[in-house]
Amino acid sequence: MKGGTFKGGTHPFGGKDLSKDLPVKKIKPSGEVVYPVSQHIGAPSNPIVQVGDQIKVGQTIAEAGGFVSTDICSSVSGTVKKIEPRLTVSGAMVNAIVVENDDKYETVDGFGEDRDYSKLSKDEIRDIIKKAGIVGMGGAGFPTHVKLAPKDDNAIDYVLVNGAECEPYLTSDYRMMIECPEMIVGGLKVILSLFPNAKGYICIEDNKPEAIEKMQEAVKGVDKVEVKVLKTKYPQGAERTLIYASTGRTINSKMLPADAGCVVNNIDTVISIYNAVCKNIPLIRRIVTVTGEGALHPQNFEVPTGMNYAEVLEAAGGCSEDTVKIVSGGPMMGMALFDLNVPVMKSSSALLCMTKDEVAEHEPSPCIRCGRCVSVCPSKLVPQKMLEYAERFDNEGFEKIFGMECYECGSCTYVCPAKRRLTQSFKETRRSVLDARRR
């Protein structure tokens, strides 16, 4: 079984053993639940509830603020307490709807009722997905209904379900593949019904044999769906590398997967699509892995969106004394938190407690031009030169050597023997280039 792969990439320490065999546990928030209006790429959603309103589970509390935007639904029942800026994972203050949970979990009418997707039209399906507030749950948070509405439905050849989960430590997608493969296949079938010419691939790295087995069983007898085994390598789950590894097609930063006839969705996103379309349950939960050497009891949780991170960590028994860094997401692309009082958002995949901060441990030393960054870059860039331009604030030079093709996977920084902070500089430079373009 030779897996599909791509050129470059790295093999960071896996760390998945900490939580991979722990079944997903459902937890519930107490007290206030916070829904930032910007949990996705695109325009923020507009709140449609007032302070003091009584709301129910599954009720839409904010509506899409444009085409590239999405709705937000409540995961609890209770009273709208405040609408005010709140701290989010990224460190930014974002306008948020704060709901006081009444612990009754009263649901809206029709919540959880079975629905036959084959009787729905394509537009109805897309509308349900939009109203359910579904976004890419792998991290980027791109509104899914936009992804599922390419210019030409017939031009889509592949629907890829991203089960690579190449980030070290994360096991949320893995657990879902083990525990509810039929929901993943169900969601994939819904997506396939939108694209008459498409085949469905469920892409899994070869370090997850149990998941591959489960999924292969689940797709048996399902038309046009198969499991694609990929080589274990970071960043296999990045959209561009995933498309290349499973279909041999290439896209660059200016293209969408649809330009290569592909639609890519993360495992949890596909499950949310299944829930929304077939069960009438909007996106109000997600799987969060609490893990890392500092986590006292690593866990995989099903967490209602809006729940406080500190509460999630508490539910897992907290973290050890020697935890020095807590990251939302994986160690390669996740965001370090300085305050745990932030809400779980649609794209929050993990809470990683690290007892060792390798960034602080290693002061950068001069570049010895070893070329490791060049050989691992999945976008075939020259990070060493990009850094030279970035450090000189030469945005023009940075763009000229294709710096904007970088998607900040962190591979170059991971392998750098001089421990230089490449990705960090690229992030800054890329933001400043994008800002300048907007002006």
Partner 1 sequence: MSKRLNVSASPHVRSKTSTKTIMRDVVIALLPACIAGIYVFKLQAALILLTCVATCLLSEYIYEKLMKKQITTADYSAVITGLLLGMNLPPSIPIWIAMLGSVFAIIVVKQLFGGLGQNFMNPALGARCFLMISFTGRMTTFTLDGVSSATPLAIIKNADRSVPVLDTLTNNGTSLFKMFVGYTGGTIGETSAACILLGALYLFVRRIISWEIPCCYIAVFSVFVLAFGGYGFDINYLAAELCGGGLMLGAFFMATDYVTSPITKKGKIIFGICLGLLTGVFRIFGGSAEGVSYAIIFCNLLVPLIEKVTIPKPFGYVKEAKKS
CB of 381 to partner 1, least distance (A): 6
Nearer to partner 1, 239 or 268 (CB): 239
Task: Examine residue 47 and tell whether it contacts partner 1 (CB under 8 A).
Answer: no
Residue 97: name the closest of 36, 43, 183, 166 by CA: 36
Nearer to partner 1, 217 or 358 (CB): 358
Spatial distance between the Cα atoms of 173 and 369, rounded to a whole number of angstroms: 37
375 touches partner 1 by CB under 8 A: yes
Span near partner 1 by CB under 8 A; candidates 25-33, 196-204, 361-369, 391-399: 361-369
Tokens, residue 304: 């209602």
Residue 266 or 328 having the CB closest to partner 1: 328
Find the shortest distance in angstroms from Cβ 200 to partner 1.
23
- For the chain, how long is the longest CA-to-CA vector? 64
Closer residue to partner 1 (CB): 78 or 329: 329
Interface residue with partner 1, options 3, 4, 12, 261 (CB under 8 A) = 12
Q: Which stretch binds partner 1 (CB under 8 A): 73-81, 189-197, 215-223, 334-342?
A: 334-342
Give the interface segment with partner 1, choosing from 97-105, 150-158, 180-188, 410-418 (CB under 8 A): 410-418
**296 is a site residue for partner 1 (CB under 8 A):** no
Q: Smallest gap, in angstroms, from Cβ of residue 9 to partner 1?
A: 11
381 contacts partner 1 (rule: CB under 8 A) = yes
Beta strand pairing call for 225-230 and 199-205: parallel
Walk across the sheet containing 93-101 and list its strands.
Answer: 32-36, 93-101, 78-87, 54-55
| Token pair belonging to 265 | 């969705």
16 phi/psi in degrees, rounded to 5: -75, -20
Chain centroid to CA 114 = 27
Q: According to CB under 8 A, which one of 265, 275, 379, 395 is a site residue for partner 1?
A: 379
**CB 274 → partner 1: shortest distance, Å?**
30
Q: According to CB under 8 A, which one of 77, 162, 265, 423 is a site residue for partner 1?
A: 423
Work out whether 1 is an interface residue with partner 1 (CB under 8 A): no
Q: What is the DSSP string of 309-370?
A: HHHHHHHTT-B-TT--EEEES-TTT-EEES-S--B--TT--EEEEES--HHHH---------
70 φ/ψ angles, rounded to the nearest 5 degrees: -155, 170
Say whether residue 334 binds partner 1 (CB under 8 A).
yes
60 binds partner 1 (CB under 8 A): no
> At 78, which helix (H) or strand (E)?
strand 78-87
How far apart, in Å, do the first and last CA atoms of the chain sit?
50
Burial class of residue 228 (count of CB atoms within 10 Å of its CB; 0-12, 13-18, 19+): buried
- The interface with partner 1 within residues 77-96 (CB under 8 A) comprises none
Nearest Cα residue to 363 out of 324, 418, 282: 418
What residues from 203 to 262 belong to the interface with partner 1 (CB under 8 A)?
Answer: 240, 244, 250-253, 255
Residue of 232, 234, 253 lying closest to 333 (CA atoms): 234
Q: Which is nearer to partner 1, 12 or 44 (CB)?
A: 12
* Under rule CB under 8 A, residue 410 binds partner 1: yes
Spatial CB neighbours of 372, under 8 Å, sequence gap ≥ 6: 412, 415, 416, 417
Residue 186 vs 330, nearer CB to partner 1: 330
Nearest to 112 by CA among 278, 280, 271, 273: 280
User: What part of residues 103-162 is at the interface with partner 1 (CB under 8 A)?
Assistant: none
Choose between 68 and 251: whose C-beta lies nearer to partner 1. 251
Q: Candidates 357, 392, 431, 434: give the one binding partner 1 (CB under 8 A).
A: 357
- Residues 304-323 within binding reach of partner 1 (CB under 8 A): 310, 323
Q: Which residue has the tokens 């407690």?
A: 353
Under a CB-based contact definition with an 8 Å cutoff, are residues 222 and 202 in contact? no
Amino acid in position 306? G
For partner 1 (CB under 8 A), the number of binding residues is: 69
Least Å from the CB of residue 430 to partner 1:
12
Amino acid of residue 213: E
Q: How far is the CB of 406 from partner 1 (least distance, A)?
A: 9
CB of 89 to partner 1, least distance (A): 12
Residues near partner 1 (CB under 8 A): 10, 12-13, 168, 240, 244, 250-253, 255, 310, 323-327, 329, 331-340, 352, 354, 357-362, 365-372, 374-375, 378-382, 384-385, 401-402, 405, 408, 410, 413-419, 421, 423-424, 427
